[in-house]
Amino acid sequence: MRDKVALVLTDVEMPEMDGLALTRRIKLGAVPVVIHSSLTGQAGEEHARSVAADACVTKFAPDELAAAMHLALAGASRAPQADMPS
């Protein structure tokens, strides 16, 4: 049996696979994704839209991160959780 995932928090810049590529793969399974990035404003929003992420949150903004995760989880509670993609 595969693990169920409620939410994914990913950084944009990671070794081997960037967070945007990871988000594209994850969104195939309909799991809410919050991107954590050093990009702010319009650039961050464009990254989120380009990969259908639920939110893009600026690094070092814990209140904004908590709010984005809460909203993404609230939206996910209306849909069944997806299997984690392999």
CATH code linked to domain 8-76? 3.40.50.2300
Position 81 scores a pLDDT of 43
Higher pLDDT pick, 74 / 42: 74
Describe the strand order of the beta sheet including 55-58 as a list of residue ranges.
8-11, 33-37, 55-58
Helix, strand or coil for residue 3? coil
The residue extents of the domains of the chain are 8-76
Q: What is the DSSP letter of 35?
A: E
Q: Which two tokens stand for residue 66?
A: 């908590």
pLDDT above 60 (res 17): yes
